[in-house]
Structure 1
C-alpha cells in the first residue's frame, strides 16, 4: 500500500466541498447538548468568526515580510470528544505522528510535509498539508479541534471523520474561529507575535519547540471558541425569553400554559447546569505548570481574543438567566397557590350548598 493510499481515509482533499458541509456537521445524535426548539446557530460568522467586544483597531504596520501564510482554524463541534477512542484510531493510522500530552486532555497529530511529484500527483497537494514545516492538529477533550496548516478540503475531511468521536453534538452550525499564521525571522525569545488576526511564528524554532508554541496558542484559541459556543447558547435562550418579563410587567401575568412554563423553567435550569459543569475549561490549563516558558503566548492569545471580558459578560448573562429562572419559579408557585385557593373555595361552596340542600330537605319533610 502506498503512502498516499494509507493516508486517504482521513485527509484526502475534496476541492469542492458541499456548501452546507458545516451545517451537516451539526446533524446527527445530540445526546448531552441542551435541546431547544430553535437551533443554536453561530452568529459569529458575520464578525469574521470571532465574537470579541466591539472596538476599533488602528491599522498596524508590522514591517515584516510574510511570503507564506497558512490556515489556523478552530472548530467547536460538540460537548466532548472521546479522546481514548480517538487516540487509538490515530495510533493505527499515524503511529509516529499521534501522541497525548501529560495532562491527557489533549491529543496531538503531527503531519509532516512530504515532497511528491509535480502537478496533480504532488503528495503535498493531495494530502492537503500546506505548511512547509508540517501541519499540526490538536484535539481538546472539551469538544474543540485546532488545525494548523491544512487546506480547507483537508479540514472538511477531518471534521467529517471526527464525528465518530463526538459526544453531545452542538445544534446548528459548529462554532468556529479563523486566523492565519506565517513564519518570519525575529528574536527567538519572542517565539510568536499576534497582529491583526495573523500569528507570526519564529522560523528559528526547533520542531519540538514549535509544537509547544502552537499548543500554547491553541489553548487560548480553543478556549475562545468554546466560550463562543456558550455565548451562542445563552444568547439564544435570552432572545427566546426576554419578552416574557415585559409581558408580566405589562399584563401582570404570563400568557403561556402551565406545561410550557414548566418546560421553560427546566430549559433554563439545564442551561445553567450545562455552562457551570464545563466552565472549568476556561481556566489556565495545567499543562503550563511544566511549560512556563510558553505560558505568555497563551496569555497573548487570550487577551487578543478578549476571553476575560467575554467571561465577565457571560457571567452577567448567566445571572440574567438565573433571575428569569427565579421569576418563572415564583410564577409557578403563585399559580399553584391560586389553584389550591380556588379548590378550597369550591370545596367550601359545595359544602355550603350541601348543607343548605340538607336543611331544605329537612324542612320539607317536617
Structure 2
C-alpha cells in the first residue's frame, strides 16, 4: 500500500473557524489554528493550517481540484507562487520500526496519527519555503539600494517608498512570528515514543529547524539594511532642512537690506 501526500501553499492565511463551520465534516482533530480530517469512507485525509497551507493524502486530481476551489473561499491574500511538496508513505508488514527516507517513509501499518505527523511536517516544509521566497525578495531589493550606495554614494529611494519597504519587511516578520508554533511538536507525540521519533526524523529530513534559523538570520540582515537606509534618509532630510533654513535666513537679510 502506498499513500501520496501533497502540501500546497494556497494563501497567506486561512479563516479556520469559518471553514470548520461550513465544511460540515467532523474533524478527527483540530484547534483554532489547524484542523485534520480523516475521511475513512474514501480513505482520504486533509490537513488545513491557518498559515495558508493545505495538505492532501490519497487524493486524486479531481478531488484535489474540487477541494481547492472550495477552500479558496476562506483564503486571506491568496498566493500564486506554485509552492508545493510531495511525500510518500509506504507499507511493509515485515518491519518492526518506521524508516524515514528523503522522499518517503516506510511503516508496517498506516493510521491517522501517523498520517497526521507526516502531513504536518510536509506542510511545515512548504510554509518555510514560502517565507524563504519572501525573504529572498526582500534581500534582493535591498541589494539594489546597497549597490546604489556603493556606486553613487546616495539613495534615490523616496521617503514614501522606504516606508512602504519597511512596512513590507515588518509584515513578513510579524507573519513569521505569528506562526512560530509551526515548530512546536503536536500533543500526540508526547505519549508515543514511536511517533515522537518519527516526528524528529521528519524534521531532520525536511531541515525544519536549520531552515527556520536561516530565515531568522536573513530577516536580521534585512532589518540591519533598513536601519542603514533610514539613517541615510534622515541625514538627507536634515541636509534639506538646513538648506531651507539657510535660504530663509538669506531671504530675510536681503529683505532687511532692501527696506
Q: Is 1:99 matched with 2:38? A: no
Cα separation, 1, equivalents of 2:31 and 2:179: 17
Structure 2: segments with no counterpart, 5+ residues: none
**CA deviation string 1:263-309 (max 9, x = no partner):** 22332333233322333323333454455541221111111011111
Give 1:155's aligned residue.
Answer: 64
Aligned partner of residue 242 in structure 1, secondary structure: helix
Structure 1 residue 259: Cα displacement: 2.9
Instruction: Tell me the C-alpha RMSD between the 2 structures.
Output: 2.2
C-alpha spacing 1:104/1:349, structure 2 compared with 1 (3 Å)? closer
* Structure with more strand by fraction: 2
Is the Cα–Cα contact under 8 Å of residues 118 and 202 in structure 2 kept in the other structure?
Answer: yes
C-alpha spacing 1:143/1:332, structure 2 compared with 1 (3 Å)? same
Cα separation, 2, equivalents of 1:228 and 1:355: 67
Q: Is 1:198 matched with 2:104? A: yes
Structure 1 residue 229: Cα displacement: 1.0
Count, aligned residues: 259
Is the Cα–Cα contact under 8 Å of residues 135 and 219 in structure 2 kept in the other structure?
Answer: yes
Cα separation, 1, equivalents of 2:207 and 2:136: 18
Q: Is 1:87 matched with 2:15? A: no
Q: Which has the higher contact order (CA 8 A, sep 6+)?
A: 1
When structure 1 is superposed on structure 2, of 179-188 and 156-165 the one drifting more is 179-188
Give 1:182's aligned residue.
Answer: 90
Structure 1 residue 320: Cα displacement: 0.9
Cα separation, 2, equivalents of 1:268 and 1:176: 24
Q: Is 1:354 matched with 2:255? A: yes
**CA deviation string 1:99-145 (max 9, x = no partner):** 152645332222235xxxxxxxxxxxxxxx5xxxx121112232222
Structure 1 residue 161: Cα displacement: 1.2
Q: 1:340 aligns with which of 241, 245, 252?
A: 241
Is the Cα–Cα contact under 8 Å of residues 108 and 138 in structure 1 kept in the other structure?
Answer: yes
Larger Rg: 1
**CA deviation string 1:144-198 (max 9, x = no partner):** 221111112321221111101222322x22421112222221334x2x3222312
Cα separation, 1, equivalents of 2:191 and 2:73: 32
Q: Is 1:248 matched with 2:157? A: no
TM-score of the two chains, using structure 1 as the length reference:
0.65
Structure 1: segments with no counterpart, 5+ residues: 1-67, 114-128, 359-366
* Structure with more helix by fraction: 2
1:18-29 equivalent positions in 2, closer than 5 A = none
